[in-house]
């Protein structure tokens, strides 16, 4: 029996491990499927990480190293190249690696920190051929930054998520010509700063309300046809335009990787794709916690670390028998606010509620309502789907309440 | 003249407004911190960027960056210099590989002990 | 000098090579692509048809029924997944009812066993997700599903294990008749053989023309498909057909042997024999598939397109105009189902042409299933991992494929040489992320095992290079 098993040794897994350690847990094991700790940060060699946590602009590997160093110093055990195959409701983990073969571990508590994956091309049903030269932005990032190889020289990017924007600049720096970034929505899914420093700095056009409608080329990609879309996101055929290119990168969304959560019968949210959790990031299965991009896709790793610290600390409380629940409040949203994390509150304390919105709104109020009564209200100049927002919920607002509604009001 | 900018100093991405009289900066608004103001001033006089990239090393590449910002119009020259170098292994975060390119050092942002292999 | 050269490493060529490899013969398969099963055998519905479709007394009817009978044992010997899930032809109106009765009669004449017509109630009991508008169905319990490229790879692998040779990237350009033998040449290489079988699929008419056989032509008929996530594989258990029309069997909805759900094919006659692009109109037709309710197209994993080889006679063409040279053309549906029987038919003809068949003593009809590790017990897996650590390293996360299985796919006949070859043999890159995570790792394994540069790894041979060079050197 192991006190705490953490699945995933990326930023979430390491932060959670450190927080649990600081809360007195010593019997910890991190299981990491890659050959090194750090997760996806290893290939995110651009800067912009750590402003919240460290007041510094760090690159991904530097940010990860801050945590990895602590893991080494504290001697927290981890297994690399280890793939978890199954988790049960009873917290039995089945994993495999080269040294141990297939093995089982029973844990008192589990923290899920498996991260997310990119939505692939196949899911988009783009017409045309199926040549080489089409990669998700993250795969291209790995090829360029880790392997040191160029996926192509003449690039179109579909989707303006942050990885797509970052790769537009990265490919440009390495000598490729990035012809355009097409975004299906009328707004970008990435951070404003990335549009500025990754596209505008290099005069790369961002084509909003555009998509790729056809792929050309038999063996290697030879071009794509793009078109403007109407407000129902249907292509307007008269606007079709052929762009010759040898590479198409896709940055069309991230999906929390919750196959293991399903095997443990954990309740998942159809909006986030991650588990439904309480303020402690405990899932519907007691003793199983989730944090980071496996719970919901974050915009900044700093928030991943914050969230993982909560999960690590609360998993420690759970192991020590200190986790208590004394209330039950469900947080509901109005659709304009797509989701909140946590979705439910079981303990009366001050809580930061994270949320994302469904569209770009300016001059809004975020209202929290108990029935018809607004119990909290906060003004925001601008909110956008690409950016995670948060509000502080005071403990006293939770008195005698079973449900709170988060609403977005345009003023 | 008014110039509108998106601040890149932090992920908040504040919308900045710079009032210019010819090339002279009259005022900056829209920033929520002093660094935003400095960014706006730089952006209108000498735009600055940090360059993050990789450098060849034994068995592949290692990630590097400029330890300070450099002039935006020197980015590609900086890349050419970095691309002509070969990083020695082992290498650790913060190790200076090239000194003083356009006022910044090129430092490693990754630890690499030996040639990278799949296993 | 070979005894038999087979042009085309599709399911017909593969089944023929395997069947011939039981005899004391020197066999060589020539394939123009970088892998086997690259034409119609790569992209089709994967159905072993019961045999009620083809006209009585046609070659299609005879070979379909016989092939379908042979298939379970062949699948067993080759370790290929085969599932006898049964098929349903669903009718919506009086016209369909008439056609279904005709199909029933025809099936009985063709020798299809246990066929029956079922009413609406029984249909919905069998398949609760069938359209409410369906009024009856032809139920063929002998219908089955199989993975067409897995079958082809395994058949050719087994033939190779029994001594047959395979030459990839060998595009036949010249064929010369000599006294008692044939000389077959590509731009780079030449082979000689006493007998030649043309199983070049879409290009079988072009190959036949080289020796002056203009007796038939083959044209491509496009079929587009959508493949859905494994969580949708249980929507139906049978292969569900619409009542057929002149253009084919219509769009079917079927589970696959790997547990995904397949919707397709469309049907469109075209002229370009290499045109396998999917189209917006095609997607639209597939989205309109109405035999089954609530097909969750938002769970699409991938879409693809295959080309049927439609022959000019309407039937399978297995013919010869010159001694020692046999052509098999127009092997469209039910070609996969019929393939074992097509092989028998061709071998009979080769015998008539004078080929002498002597059984080999050491012929081994069995091939270790490609899924042996996946299907092994935990204890057996651990024993394997202890001996070979590569089986403990999971490379493809979505489908749980280990490095050991990938290495095995490279070194087992016929070895994978590119990324798609690994995908078809191991399922690595075929899951939810479509290779997003594991592709670079698989490239490294291919590079190491085949001792070729990383830069030269391709998606599927030819000019399908994955990368264009190292960073820092391409400026």
What would the pLDDT profile of A240-291 be if each residue is shown by its tens digit? 999 999 999 999 999 999 999 999 999 999 999 999 999 999 999 999 999 9
Q: Of A223, A252, A281, which residue is a domain's last?
A: A252
Tell me the nearest-neighbour CA distance from B53 into chain A, angstroms: 7
Within 292-351 of C, beta carbons closer than 8 Å to B belong to none
Q: What is the pLDDT of residues C333-350, one digit of tens each?
A: 999 999 999 999 999 999
- Looking at the partner chain, which of C400, C434, C440 has a beta carbon nearest the beta carbon of A142? C440
Q: What is the pLDDT of residue A32?
A: 98
Query: Does residue A89 share a domain with residue A19?
Result: yes
* A369 has a chain C CB within 8 A of its CB: no
Residue B114 belongs to some domain of the structure: no
pLDDT over 60 (residue A39): yes
Angstrom distance (rounded) from CA A155 to CA A152: 7
Q: What is the pLDDT of residue C248?
A: 67
Angstrom distance (rounded) from CA C128 to CA A339: 34
What's the CATH code of the domain at A130? 3.50.50.60
Cβ count within 10 A of residue B13: 21
**A173, B50: Cβ pair inside 8 Å?**
no
Residue of B nearest to C390 (CA): B119
| Residue A378 backbone dihedrals phi, psi, to 5 degrees | -140, 135
Extract the tokens encoding C416: 């994978």
**Tally of domains within chain A:** 3
* B79 has a chain A CB within 8 A of its CB: yes
- Band of residue B115 on the pLDDT scale cut at 50, 70, 90: low
Angstrom distance (rounded) from CA C101 to CA C103: 5
Q: What is the pLDDT of residue C367?
A: 98
Helix/strand/coil for A261: helix
* A213 has a chain C CB within 8 A of its CB: yes
Query: Does residue B62 share a domain with residue B99?
Result: yes
Q: What is the pLDDT of residue C155?
A: 98
Query: Does residue A105 share a domain with residue A215?
Result: no
Residue to test with chain B: of A71, A167, A196, most B Cβ within 10 A? A196
Query: Does residue B104 share a domain with residue B57?
Result: yes
- Looking at the partner chain, which of C441, C448, C475 has a beta carbon nearest the beta carbon of B83? C475
Write down the mean pLDDT value for chain C: 96
Query: Does residue A139 share a domain with residue A244?
Result: yes
Contacts of A384 in chain B (CB under 8 A): none
Query: Does residue B82 share a domain with residue B38?
Result: no
Q: What is the mean pLDDT of residues A15-36?
A: 97
For residue C347, whether the previous peptide bond is cis, meaning omega lies within 30 degrees of 0, is: no
Q: Are the C-beta atoms of C148 and C154 separated by less than 8 Å?
A: no
Cβ count within 10 A of residue C93: 11
DSSP designation for A394: -
Query: Does residue B67 share a domain with residue B36?
Result: no
Q: What is the pLDDT of residue C247?
A: 64
Residue B7 belongs to some domain of the structure: yes
pTM for the model: 0.94
Angstrom distance (rounded) from CA C346 to CA C338: 12
Q: Of A198, A229, A252, which residue is a domain's last?
A: A252
A and B: number of Cβ contacts within 8 A: 78
Higher pLDDT residue, A332 or C244? A332
Residue of C nearest to A94 (CA): C378
Tell me the nearest-neighbour CA distance from C441 into chain B, angstroms: 7
* A299 has a chain B CB within 8 A of its CB: yes
Angstrom distance (rounded) from CA A365 to CA A381: 9
pLDDT over 60 (residue B8): yes
Query: Does residue B98 share a domain with residue B65?
Result: yes
DSSP designation for A239: G
DSSP string spanning C125-155? HH-TTB-TT--EEEEETT-EEE-HHHHHHHH
**B83, C448: Cβ pair inside 8 Å?**
no
Query: Does residue B104 share a domain with residue B59?
Result: yes
Extract the tokens encoding C431: 């899951």
Angstrom distance (rounded) from CA C131 to CA C125: 12
**Subunits in contact with chain C (3 or more CB pairs closer than 8 Å):** A, B
* B109 has a chain A CB within 8 A of its CB: yes
Angstrom distance (rounded) from CA A287 to CA A289: 6
Query: Does residue A259 share a domain with residue A332?
Result: no
Q: What is the pLDDT of residue C372?
A: 97
Place of tokens 């006089």: B45
Query: Does residue A240 share a domain with residue A141?
Result: yes
Residue to test with chain C: of B59, B80, B119, most C Cβ within 10 A? B119
Q: Are the C-beta atoms of C136 and C91 separated by less than 8 Å?
A: yes
Q: Are the C-beta atoms of C199 and C16 separated by less than 8 Å?
A: yes
Residues of C annotated catalytic, as ranges: 49
Q: What angle do CA C401, C402, C406 make, to 5 degrees?
A: 90
**A193, B8: Cβ pair inside 8 Å?**
yes
DSSP string spanning A265-315? T--B-TTTSSB---TT-B-SSTTEEE-GGGTS--S-HHHHHHHHHHHHHHH
A and C: number of Cβ contacts within 8 A: 142
Contacts of B80 in chain C (CB under 8 A): 475
**A148, B93: Cβ pair inside 8 Å?**
no
Query: Does residue A100 share a domain with residue A17?
Result: yes
Contacts of C459 in chain A (CB under 8 A): 131-132, 219
Q: What is the pLDDT of residue B11?
A: 74
Helix/strand/coil for B76: helix
Residue of B nearest to A145 (CA): B54
**Tally of domains within chain B:** 2
Q: Which helix (H) or strand (E) holds A163?
A: helix A162-173
Beta bridge partners of A401: none
Query: Does residue B96 share a domain with residue B71?
Result: yes
Residue B119 belongs to some domain of the structure: no
Query: Does residue B39 share a domain with residue B63?
Result: no
User: Distance between alpha carbon C295 and the CA centroid of its chain, in Å?
Assistant: 25
Q: What is the pLDDT of residue B119?
A: 36
DSSP designation for A146: I
Domain containing residue B12:
2-45
Cβ count within 10 A of residue A60: 27
- Band of residue C46 on the pLDDT scale cut at 50, 70, 90: very high
Cβ count within 10 A of residue B34: 9
- Looking at the partner chain, which of A100, A118, A129 has a beta carbon nearest the beta carbon of C276? A129
Q: What is the pLDDT of residues C302-315, one digit of tens each?
A: 999 999 999 999 99
DSSP designation for C192: E
How does C122-145 read in b/e, with b if 16+ C-beta sit within 10 Å? Answer: ebbebbebbbeebbbbbbbbbbbb
How does C263-296 read in b/e, with b if 16+ C-beta sit within 10 Å? Answer: bbbbbbeeeebeebbbbeebbebbeebebbeebe
- Band of residue A145 on the pLDDT scale cut at 50, 70, 90: very high
Query: Does residue B28 share a domain with residue B67?
Result: no
Query: Does residue A247 share a domain with residue A136?
Result: yes
Residue count of chain A = 411
E strands, A88-185, in order:
92-97, 101-112, 116-118, 127-128, 134-136, 149-150, 154-158, 177-183
**A117, C433: Cβ pair inside 8 Å?**
yes
Q: What is the mean pLDDT of residues C60-71?
A: 97
Q: What is the pLDDT of residue C459?
A: 97
Q: Are the C-beta atoms of B114 and B89 separated by less than 8 Å?
A: yes
Query: Does residue A391 share a domain with residue A317?
Result: no
Residue B116 belongs to some domain of the structure: no
Angstrom distance (rounded) from CA C469 to CA B56: 14
Residue B79 belongs to some domain of the structure: yes
Q: What is the mean pLDDT of residues A376-391?
A: 90
- Looking at the partner chain, which of B13, B49, B118 has a beta carbon nearest the beta carbon of A192? B13
Query: Does residue A259 share a domain with residue A113?
Result: yes
Angstrom distance (rounded) from CA C363 to CA C346: 20
Q: What is the pLDDT of residues C162-208, one digit of tens each?
A: 999 999 999 999 999 999 999 999 999 999 999 999 999 999 999 99
Domains in chain C, ordered, with CATH? 82-143+222-306 (3.30.9.10), 372-456 (1.10.10)
Q: Of A276, A306, A323, which residue is a domain's last?
A: A323
Q: Which residues contact C395 (CB under 8 A, 6 or more apart)?
A: C401, C402, C403, C406, C428, C438, C441, C442, C445
Query: Does residue A114 share a domain with residue A5?
Result: yes
Q: Which helix (H) or strand (E) holds A331?
A: strand A329-333
Q: What is the pLDDT of residue B118?
A: 42
**C440, A83: Cβ pair inside 8 Å?**
no
pLDDT over 90 (residue C431): no
Domain containing residue A30:
1-118+253-323
Query: Does residue A81 share a domain with residue A51?
Result: yes
**B8, A45: Cβ pair inside 8 Å?**
no
pLDDT over 70 (residue B117): no
């Amino acid at each position: 029996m192991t006190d705490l098993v953490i699945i995933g040794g990326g930023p979430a897994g390491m932060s959670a491990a450190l927080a649990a350690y600081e809360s007195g847990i010593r019997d910890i094991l991190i299981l990491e499927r890659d050959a090194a700790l750090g997760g996806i940060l290893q290939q995110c060699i651009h800067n912009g990480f750590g402003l919240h946590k460290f007041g510094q602009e760090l690159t991904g590997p530097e940010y990860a190293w801050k945590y990895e160093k602590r893991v080494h110093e504290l001697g927290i055990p981890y297994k690399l190249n280890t793939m978890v195959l199954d988790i049960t409701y009873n917290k039995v983990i089945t994993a495999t690696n080269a040294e141990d073969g297939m093995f089982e571990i029973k844990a008192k508590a589990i923290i899920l920190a498996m991260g997310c994956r990119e939505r692939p091309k196949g899911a988009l049903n783009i017409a045309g051929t199926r040549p080489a030269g089409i990669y998700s932005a993250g795969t291209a990032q790995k090829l360029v930054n880790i392997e040191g190889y160029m996926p192509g020289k003449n690039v179109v990017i579909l989707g303006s998520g942050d990885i797509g924007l970052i790769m537009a600049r990265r490919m440009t720096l390495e000598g490729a010509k990035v012809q355009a970034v097409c975004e299906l929505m009328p707004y970008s899914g990435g951070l404003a700063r990335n549009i500025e420093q990754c596209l505008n700095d290099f005069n790369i056009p961002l084509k909003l309300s555009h998509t790729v409608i056809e792929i050309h080329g038999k063996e290697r990609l030879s071009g794509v046809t793009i078109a403007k879309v109407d407000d129902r996101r249907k292509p307007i055929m008269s606007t079709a335009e052929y762009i010759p290119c040898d590479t198409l990168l896709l940055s069309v969304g991230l999906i929390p990787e919750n196959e293991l959560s399903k095997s443990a019968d954990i309740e998942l949210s159809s909006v986030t794709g991650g588990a439904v959790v309480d303020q402690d990031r405990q899932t519907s299965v007691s003793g199983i916690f989730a944090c980071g991009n496996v719970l919901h896709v974050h915009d900044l790793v700093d928030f991943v670390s914050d969230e993982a610290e909560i999960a690590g600390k609360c998993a420690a409380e759970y192991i020590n028998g200190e986790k208590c629940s004394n209330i039950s409040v469900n947080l509901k949203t109005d659709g304009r606010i797509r989701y909140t994390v946590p979705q439910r509150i079981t303990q009366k304390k001050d809580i930061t509620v994270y949320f994302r919105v469904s569209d770009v709104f300016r001059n809004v109020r975020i209202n929290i309502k108990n029935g018809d009564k607004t119990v909290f209200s906060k003004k925001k100049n601008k909110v956008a789907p690409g950016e995670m927002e948060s509000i502080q919920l005071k403990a006293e607002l939770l008195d005698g309440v079973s449900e709170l509604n988060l609403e977005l009001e345009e003023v | 003249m008014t110039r509108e900018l998106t601040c890149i100093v932090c992920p908040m991405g504040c919308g900045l407004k710079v009032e210019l009289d010819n090339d002279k900066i009259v005022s900056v608004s829209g920033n929520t911190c002093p660094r935003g103001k400095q960014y706006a001033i730089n952006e209108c006089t000498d735009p600055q960027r940090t360059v993050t990239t990789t450098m060849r090393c034994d068995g592949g590449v290692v990630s590097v960056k400029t330890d300070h910002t450099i002039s935006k119009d020197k980015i590609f020259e900086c890349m050419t210099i970095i691309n002509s170098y070969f990083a020695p292994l082992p290498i650790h975060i913060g190790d200076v590989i090239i000194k003083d390119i356009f006022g910044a050092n090129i430092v490693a942002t990754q630890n690499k002990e030996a040639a990278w292999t799949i296993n | 000098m070979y005894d038999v050269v087979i042009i085309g490493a599709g399911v017909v060529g593969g089944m023929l090579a395997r069947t011939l490899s039981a005899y004391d013969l020197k066999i060589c398969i020539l394939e123009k692509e970088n892998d086997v099963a690259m034409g119609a055998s790569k992209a089709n519905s994967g159905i072993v048809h019961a045999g009620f479709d083809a006209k009585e007394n046609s070659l299609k009817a005879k070979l379909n029924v016989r092939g379908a009978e042979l298939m379970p044992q062949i699948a067993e010997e080759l370790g290929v997944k085969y599932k006898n899930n049964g098929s349903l032809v669903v009718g919506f109106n009086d016209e369909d009812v008439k056609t279904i009765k005709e199909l029933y009669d025809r099936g009985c004449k063709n020798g299809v066993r246990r066929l029956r017509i079922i009413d609406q109630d029984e249909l919905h009991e069998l398949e609760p997700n069938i359209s409410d508008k369906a009024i009856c169905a032809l139920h063929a319990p002998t219908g089955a599903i199989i993975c067409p490229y897995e079958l082809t790879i395994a058949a050719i692998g087994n033939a190779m294990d029994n001594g047959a040779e395979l030459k990839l990237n060998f595009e036949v350009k010249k064929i010369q008749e000599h006294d008692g033998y044939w000389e077959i040449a590509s731009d780079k290489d030449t082979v000689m053989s006493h007998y030649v079988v043309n199983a070049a699929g879409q290009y079988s008419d072009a190959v036949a023309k080289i020796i002056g056989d203009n007796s038939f032509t083959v044209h491509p008929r496009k079929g587009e498909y959508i493949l859905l996530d494994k969580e949708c594989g249980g929507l139906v258990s049978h292969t569900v057909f619409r009542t057929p029309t002149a253009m084919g069997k219509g769009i079917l909805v079927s589970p696959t042997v790997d547990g995904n759900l397949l919707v397709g094919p469309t049907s469109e006659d075209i002229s370009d024999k290499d045109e396998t692009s999917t189209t917006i109109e095609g997607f639209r037709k597939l989205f309109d598939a109405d035999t089954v309710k609530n097909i969750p197209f938002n769970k699409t994993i991938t879409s693809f397109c295959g080309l049927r080889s439609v022959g000019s006679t309407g039937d399978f063409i297995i013919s010869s105009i010159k001694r020692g040279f046999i052509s098999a053309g127009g092997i469209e549906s039910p070609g996969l189902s019929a393939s074992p029987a097509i092989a028998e038919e061709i071998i009979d003809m080769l015998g008539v042409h004078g080929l002498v068949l002597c059984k080999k003593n050491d012929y081994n009809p069995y091939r270790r299933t490609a899924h042996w590790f996946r299907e092994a017990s935990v204890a057996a897996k651990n024993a394997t991992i202890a001996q070979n650590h590569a089986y403990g390293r999971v490379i493809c996360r979505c489908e749980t494929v280990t490095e050991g299985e990938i290495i095995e796919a490279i070194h087992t006949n016929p070895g994978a040489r590119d990324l798609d070859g690994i995908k078809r043999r191991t399922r690595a890159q075929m899951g939810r992320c479509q290779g997003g995570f594991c592709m670079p790792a698989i490239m490294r394994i291919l590079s190491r095992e085949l001792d070729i540069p990383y830069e030269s790894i391709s998606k599927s041979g030819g000019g399908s290079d994955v990368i264009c060079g190292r960073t820092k050197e391409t400026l």
